[in-house]
A and B are shown apart, each in its own frame.
Chain A
Amino acid sequence: DDETITVGFATAQSGAMQAYDKPADEAAMIRIEEINAAGGLLGKQIQVVTADTKSDRAEGAKAGLSVLDQGADLVIVSCDYDFGAPAALAAQDAGIVSFFSCAESVKAGIQGVGPLSFSGSVLAPVQGAAMAEWAFKEKDAKTFYKLLDTWTVYNKGICDGFDWMMPKLEEQGAKLVGEDTFKNEDASIAAQITRIKALPEEPDAIMLCTMMPGGVSAVKQLRAAGINSMILNGSGMDGSYWLSAVPDLSNFYIPVQASIYGDDPNPDVKKFNEAYKAKTGADPSSQYVYPGYVAVDVWSKAVERAGTTEAEAVVAELEKMKDEPTLFGPRTFTSELHHQANARYLVVNVDKGKPGVVGEWTLSEPVPMEAILK
């Protein structure tokens, strides 16, 4: 209608995905409230409608259709591609722009939904590649070991990025000394550990492409077995809530878009964190809060620039964005990719159980399409 602009959330408000969707939703809400407080978008207030996907794919499609029926001009869908896609596809069908709040698969965009779909986060391969390059360049890691949890596309994506980066590093003297796989739900990775122990020399770095909860178990078992190599991860392992499982964990590195630990170089991030706490009563639990904010942020900018919420115009404006600054790093969208093939990452290290920012890294070149689409 003419009086308001409507943002629809077709995300999980209950069930298994809720723990991941809710923080991103809250962050998006913070941005919406900021916009409304500053006079709205195109002079109109933003109104919010929601529908629960119940962490179920079929329900996802219904939730998407439901917010569309309520007149959504933008549909925010679930954090994970698999769970968000049904709603995003419904939006695509209806000619409405959709944003995955924090999906990191290339499919969360043109490739998996269509030209009206975007993601607020960064591609998983960027994380794997960035960590490998950073460890090699900044930490002097020479020998690498790859341990992949085959459970999700996200995990595989991190390792794809690593695989793309590795040959470049090998030209410069690094070496991949071994690789193995496991499954997130494996109760024990003893066999995988034995294989690492059998190496003539402990690798400098282990690229661990995994996520919660199996990731914690893997880290715990690696350390318990006396393997002290630096462990490189994707952003999925960010957050301090699980650190009590591995007391005194050290030498453990994660890329993040911004820090939840109160030590972000950008003071505005700290302000956001306070606003988040004020709103929800808790600190952000991981960096996956932030992309929800980014999604609303870049979309609203595109709307302002286009002067309309009309999908075609908004998408055109979004695709013009090149290193568009946001609170959580620059964003670039093109007509091929509605996702980030490069990003500025902060590197968090966990030292004796205390996480903190130890560096910043941007890939020397964006991850090319072939590596992303692998």
Chain B
Amino acid sequence: MTLLSLTDVSVRYGRLTAVRGVSFSVAENEILFVTGPNGAGKSSLMRAIAGVTHCAAGKITLDGRDITAEKPENIARMGFSMVPEGREVFGSLTVEENLMVGTGMHGGAKRGRIADELASVYDTFPILKERRNGQAGLLSGGQQQMLVIGRALMTQPRLIAIDEPSLGLAPNITDQVYERLIALRAERGLTLLIVEQSSTRAVMVGGRMLLMRGGQIVLDGDARALGNSEAIQAAYFGYEDH
């Protein structure tokens, strides 16, 4: 069943078009990688889905509902959780407070579930537990990255979108993040939408892969099959203008 679908979505910054007419859809419980070189428009696309960047054109639906002009908080409340690029932690809050910010939308009733979730995040990232009462802004770069991923998981989303999860993470931690995400997919039917610059990880994990370039989708297919194919190389190194 289709969970998220985009039709002809464009994003513009003034005169610059960062995303031009992109369409794709994500099925429930799917893993979808979005890859592509620097400046391809991946982050812009994510922000447009999350509702924080305005779509210049096109239509986005989540669960069949049109969310193109919806407020970000309402999109989040529909079960879409987004980890933006560049670690947006609440620096002045403690680590644990950061984790709790997103848990309000369940009405506070499910205290037990929140506690369980917290325990499992701490389990994945023990360092966060150690620093739970420390100020989040003082964490190291990688620790902050763990925090934002943990924070997104705390909202118990149905669809999680992560913009470059491996950014600044030590390789073994990156492994753990992926393990956890894949486990959640199996346990809860979580749908994953992951932006990575390099296709390596997609090839390793498997799943579907979109390759963006110049604001457009240039390749769409099974990650393993596409692999290190000619097409990918061309996409990264081509210099044609658009």
A and B directly contacting (CB within 8 A): no
